[in-house]
Structure 1
Amino acid sequence: MSQAHNMTDYDATYSEFRFEVPEYFNFAADVIDKWAEDPDKLAMWWVDDEGTEVKKTYLDLTRASRRLASLLASQGVGQGDVVMLILPRNIEWWEAVTACIRMGALLAPGTTQLTSKDLEFRANRSEAVCIITNNDIAAKFDDVADRCPSVRSRIVITEPRDGWLFYTDAVEKASDEFEAARTRSDDPCLVYFTSGTVGFPKMALHTHASYPIGHQTTGRFWLDLRPDDMHWNISDTGWAKAAWSSYFGPLNCGAAQFIHHTERFDPIKTLELLSKYPVTTMCGAPTIYRMLVLQDLGQFRFPSLRHCVGAGEPLNPEIIEVWKRATGCTIRDGYGQTETVLLCGSFPCIEPRFGSMGKPAPGIDLNVIDNDGNVVPPNTEGNIAIRVRPNRPVGLFREYWKEPERTASVFNGDWYLTGDRAYADDDGYFWFVGRSDDVILTSGYRIGPFEVESALIEHPAVAESAVVSSPDATRGEVVKAFVIIAPGFQTSEGLVKELQDHVKKVTAPYKYPRKIEFVEALPKTVSGKIRRIELRDAEWGKS
């Protein structure tokens, strides 16, 4: 594919680029419906493991989302009301995101790995009025429904369920005459629960214009998408990564999406699909690429693939080399957070430096600063921060919803602090050093140690625990727990397995500790706080 890239001169684009944010903006009406004016324009090519294939146009998405918006309105869902959306990669996920935006409901997506306890916490914390999900999650929600008084409407997909509205039937009967809400640019649009070091997940709130418009740079410059591309983002729908690369990024650009609906990631199947379908661009967490390069790539051909990106953690140079030899594509890194759009990227027109996050995204004044808010010289480690004064950047979240102190804690003077550390080299490339707190980034997931420690302590054999990241060849880093066992219990392989299974049940399964080490004592500060940093440094050979 020899078309010119969307960015050909980084410095010129960075200095000239400006976002345009109108007073009123609704992504469903202003973007999806515009692309739908071409009735044949492909939006999705969906396949599952049984070989079922479904193609949907932008017009299909417009119509289905209008019907669902009508249905939700008839269920008493109004502008500003919270709708929890917990689905895997079903087509209904895209329809529901679009419907909620269209009607101005506040969308709260979540991963299908949530437990009943997680669902109860989220429903009550956000005061959700509606949940849209599948039968597996519906069963978990039914266990706690009587403790979630705000949820008045329950909608289930795929097959009917007692006490739930069946999506397919109800949407088919609903009217497709739905007038999009006049949503102001600063109206709440989307809320993501995101893990922190302390306490339970916080709610990052995004608005109707800032987030969708902010993702123009994600789609256009980093994913390098055009209307004739087909993009495959191999990511769970429950994470902000889906908003980046499965929704706003490609749909802003009028690209089609390839969607593989599957229960688990299978590297061979993924390579077969890449060989068979006209996928031009691909996005995946580093873990996915690490698993792909372990296969015999010589057996496969990648006739359409022209551009690949990775995000979530830095990628090892050797993985990038192997993938490039097989596909001709350099995996280009990108960096951002649940709270932001793309902040930094290895854009197609810049020389990639393996292991680097690339250069600041257009529209973002990204810097490395010291603890006093001063920009540090090149090659000096510091805090990754975004300048928010005098102009607050488009794409930055509005607040941690309902937690003003927590919101204030991430702003310092003219800066928003990402909580990550890095240095910039002499040429302006950013190099990730690590989290400045204890959050663990594994396989593209963000895991707060507190949540895992809280789950462990519920087991009678655990007296105390500390959870940190530990290096892992495939996943980059994994969760490791140091456990002091309670009197009367014996350490054993059996106990390790029992504790792992216990964590999977109590909290979402992806958070379980893949490594457990039994210890006599844990390092602590004078005030009795566990010094996780000491344990973490020992794991990474820094002590």
Structure 2
Amino acid sequence: MNQPTAPSVQTDRFVHDRLPPADQWPQMRYELPELLISAQANLVDVLFERIDRQDLSGRPFLRSDKITLSYTDAHARIKRIAQVLTEDLQLLPGNRVLLRGGNTIGMALAWLGVVKAGLVAVATMPLLRAKELGEVITKSQATVALCDAGLLAELEAAQKVNPVLAQIVPFNTNEAGSLAVLAAAKDGQFLPCRTSADDIAMMAFTSGTTGTPKAPVHTHRDVLAACETWPRHVLKATPDDIVMGSPPLAFTFGLGGMLIFPLWAGASVYYPGIAYTPEAMVKLINEVGATICYTAPTFYRQMAPFAKQHGVPSLRTCVSAGEGLPDATRQLWKEATGIEMTDGIGATEMFHIFISAAPDQVRRGAIGKVVPGYTAKVVDDSGEEVPRGTIGKLAVIGPTGCRYLDDERQAKYVKNGWNYPGDAFLQDEDGYFFYQARADDMIITSGYNVGGPEVEDALLKHPAVAECGVIGVPDDERGMVVKAFVVLKPGHAPDAAMCKQLQDHVKSTLAPFKYPRQVAFVASLPRTETGKLQRFRLRQP
């Protein structure tokens, strides 16, 4: 299905000019009727118009412990922010705006205001330091930043060595010169920026599991198309839903789950005034009456005893993504809450989830089936599909796809129009996809393929294990051997006896060649801010 196109209104062509050559673009497929998107579409306007049509404007949208904004209230504030950006800061369509903040109403409004104004949102993780922020500024050439007042120090340090960032406007404060004060002076009569659907909405820097971050670019069409796939066909949120979770808005898993998809569904989102701990999240779910939760597998595992203790009666949907969901964690959560988790695999490059299964479609050990709107297959190194039940590389095609900003790694991610997220999978006869490992993380020992996540899942079933990470390390005799990094629960000694106990446990659970010949006991594992295990750091001496 061909999509209608309209002329770009983004007069700043910086991002457009640095997209990959056309022959390295992914093929975009829009095979469902709901994926037909108008040629002229600003995603913020489209989503709020959808709310108006469904007569949901008076319903709550953004919630915190201090305030609840209806859709009408939120849209009025977004319009005034867009006025500040275009009138006071004189920004032009296509200019990049760096956003720095945690999961707050202020950050959500700022992101939506930037995109409504036809600018390019460049959101950054709160934990990034000056050096990392400098890399984002250099790559994006952002001239203005909207920054949470509590996170200014590192950004100001980055600005000193990156003077292209001319102005920083703080939010979540009412001091003179802040976004709130500037916006309060506006009348809210923002003239819509009628972007082409193919104008750039955002750059989403990857969350750093493999070292140097990349900057995938997404258009207004991409984000709207993403709303019509996994949220429509798998999540099925309603206006009565209250969403909570831990993924940052600077990460596309969080941006979709914690802002864009609730807006599409007419639901509401609760942003906490505190940093989440596992127990605090369970208590807040109950206080707020949250019905949908997003977080990473490790956090669900840590939440399980508190969910069992306190109960979570309002909760109905629990979405796990960001890294592979071990079956041990799925069963632990189900035993604690009675809820079958909704697993999914997505990618920053694809915007969000493209393989998943609703709770009534779950098959143990599998992530799920391809989400309507996408096509996926498991292929060999030449791109040929392998027989069902055979391990290979995942290739995906659909209404979203990878376009890196000015990055030679584009040619590795997109081949012959297909996206290669870099994961090893097998697919069964019924179309279910089983995650094996990152393609670079497959452990080949004595000619056998071993997926680290499979060994991790086995180890997590041992009562002494709190967390673990598994990699392959070089070995003269076997090529590679399996090595496990294990965090023990309190009260268990990290000694030779425990090492043997864990090795024997894996041997009794999996084929014996998969057991970890090396076990290192550690106090913690390296993770990204989104909860992903950084296996590349486990490999560093």
Under a length normalisation based on structure 2, what TM-score does the superposition of the two structures give?
0.74
Please list the CA deviations of residues 344-372 of structure 1 after superposition, one character each: whole Å capped at 9, or x if unmatched: 0012442x123311000000011111111
- 1:292 corresponds in structure 2 to 303
Structure 1 residue 509 displacement after superposition: 12
| Post-superposition CA distance 1:60-95 (Å, at most 9, x none) | 111111000100112022211111111012211110
Whether 1:420 and 2:423 are equivalent positions in the alignment is yes
Which residue of structure 2 aligns with residue 46 of structure 1? 64
Aligned to 1:94: 108
Residue number among 58, 81, 85 corresponding to 1:68 in the alignment: 81
Deviates more, 1:143-152 or 1:114-123: 143-152
CA distance in 2, matches of 1:306, 1:140: 39
Of 29, 32, 38, which residue of structure 1 is paired with 2:48?
Answer: 32
2:346 to 336, 339, 343: 336
Given that 2:32 and 2:373 are in contact with CA atoms closer than 8 Å, whether structure 1 keeps it comes out as no
The answer for the alignment partner of 1:359 in structure 2 is 369
- In structure 1, what is the Cα distance between the partners aligned to 2:217 and 2:135? 17
Q: Alignment identity in percent?
A: 25
**Match for 1:173: what amino acid?**
A
Q: Distance in 1 between matches of 2:56 and 2:355?
A: 33
Alpha carbons 2:130, 2:155 under 8 Å: kept:
yes
Alpha-carbon distance in structure 2 between the residues aligned to 1:515 and 1:228: 42
**Alpha-carbon distance change, 110 to 16 in structure 1, aligned in 2, over 3 angstroms:** closer
Query: In structure 2, what is the Cα distance between the partners aligned to 1:94 and 1:375?
Result: 41
Q: Retained in 1: the 8 A contact 2:125–2:529? A: no
Amino acid at match of 1:272: K
Superposition pairs of residues 435-474 of structure 1, within 5 angstroms: 435-437=438-440, 473-474=465-466
Residue 399 of structure 2: which of 394, 397, 400 is its match? 394
Give the distance between the partners of 2:466 and 2:119, measured in 1 at CA. 39
CA contact (8 A) 1:480 1:516 kept: no
Task: Report the Cα offset of residue 135 of structure 1.
Answer: 3.3
Change (3 A) 1:364 1:323: same
What is the aligned counterpart of 1:271 among 282, 299, 304? Answer: 282
In the TM superposition, what are the counterparts of 1:81-480 in structure 2 within 5 Å? Answer: 81-159=95-173, 165-194=177-206, 200-263=212-275, 265-295=276-306, 297-340=307-350, 341-350=352-361, 352-387=362-397, 393-397=398-402, 399-403=403-407, 405-437=408-440, 473-475=465-467, 477=469
How far residue 386 of structure 1 moved from its aligned partner, in angstroms, is 1.3
SS of 2:377's partner is: strand
Alpha-carbon shift at residue 230 of structure 1 (Å): 1.5
1:81–1:438 CA distance, 2 compared to 1 (3 A):
farther
Q: Distance in 1 between matches of 2:147 and 2:109?
A: 13
Separation of aligned partners in 2, 1:190 and 1:293: 35
Q: May I ask how many residue pairs the two structures share in their alignment? A: 441
Judging changes above 3 Å, is the alpha-carbon distance between structure 1 residues 159 and 327 closer, same or farther for their aligned structure 2 residues? same
Structure 2: which amino acid aligns with 1:44?
L
Runs of 4+ that moved beyond 3 A: 14-18, 36-39, 158-161, 195-199, 469-482, 507-517
The one-letter amino acid paired with 1:190 is M
CA contact (8 A) 1:114 1:508 kept: no
Corresponding letter in the other structure for 1:155: V
Change (3 A) 1:83 1:302: same
Q: Deviation per CA, 1:433-453, whole angstroms, max 9, x where unpaired?
A: 1112369xxxxxxxxxxxxxx
Q: How far 1:157 moved relative to its partner?
A: 2.1
Q: Provide closer, same or farther for how the CA distance between residues 198 and 307 of structure 1 changes in structure 2, counting only shifts above 3 A.
A: closer
Query: Where in structure 1 are there 5+ consecutive unaligned residues?
Result: 1-13, 48-52, 388-392, 440-468, 483-499, 518-531, 537-543
Letter of the 2:47 partner, please give it.
V
TM-aligned CA deviation for residue 394 of structure 1: 1.3
| C-alpha distance in 2 between matches for 1:509 and 1:256 | 22
Q: CA deviation at 1:516?
A: 9.2
Letter in 2 for 1:477: G
Give the counterpart of 2:70 among 51, 57, 63: 57
Equivalent residues of 1:224, 1:348 under 8 A apart: no
* Aligned AA (1:427): D
SS of aligned partner of 1:401: coil
Structure 1 contact 293–323 (Cα < 8 Å) conserved:
yes
Q: 1:434 to 1:508 in 2, by over 3 A?
A: closer
> Counterparts of 2:537 and 2:108 in 1: how far apart (Å)?
39
- Contact 2:174-2:181 within 8 A present in 1 as well: no
Cα RMSD between the aligned structures? 3.3
Whole-angstrom CA distance in 1 between matches of 2:168 and 2:36: 37
Q: CA deviation at 1:130?
A: 0.9
How far apart, CA to CA, are the structure 2 residues paired with 1:436 and 1:174? Answer: 51
Aligned-residue offset at 1:222:
2.8
User: Contact 2:243–2:270 at 8 Å: present in 1 too?
Assistant: yes
Alignment correspondent of 1:526:
none
**Gap regions ≥5 residues in structure 2:** 1-29, 443-455, 475-522
Superposed displacement of residue 290, structure 1: 0.8
Would the alpha carbon gap of residues 479 and 86 (structure 1) be closer, same or farther in structure 2, given more than 3 Å must change?
A: farther
Q: Please give the alpha-carbon distance, in whole angstroms, between the structure 1 residues aligned to 2:473 and 2:99.
A: 31
What CA deviation, in whole Å up to 9, does each residue of 1:22-77 have, x standing for no partner?
A: 21111211112441554411112213xxxxx3111111111111000100112022
Change (3 A) 1:158 1:412: closer
The CA deviation at 1:149 is 2.4
Q: Which amino acid aligns with 2:355?
A: C
242 and 515 in structure 1: CA distance in 2 versus 1, 3 angstrom threshold = closer
> Which amino acid is the alignment partner of residue 378 of structure 2?
V
In 1: Cα distance, 2:533 partner to 2:396 partner: 33
Cα displacement string for residues 206-263 of structure 1 (whole angstroms, at most 9, x for unaligned residues): 0111123223323223322012222223222221111220122211111111222323
Distance 1:419 1:516 in 2: 18
Letter in structure 2 aligned against 1:193: F
Cα contact 1:481–1:516 (8 A) shared by 2: no
C-alpha change, 1:230 and 1:267, in structure 2 (3 Å) is same
CA contact (8 A) 1:197 1:437 kept: no
Q: Tell whether 2:96 aligns with 1:79.
A: no
Report how far residue 323 of structure 1 moved. Answer: 2.2
Aligned partners of 2:128 and 2:314: how far apart in 1?
36
Note if contact 2:79-2:188 (Cα within 8 Å) is conserved in structure 1: yes
Change over 3 Å in CA distance of 1:359–1:508 after alignment to 2? closer
- Distance in 2, matches of 1:294 and 1:239, equals 27
Three-state SS of the structure 2 residue aligned to 1:243 is helix
TM-score computed with the length of structure 1 as normaliser: 0.74
Aligned mates of 2:324, 2:365 — CA distance in 1: 6
1:196–1:369 CA distance, 2 compared to 1 (3 A)? farther
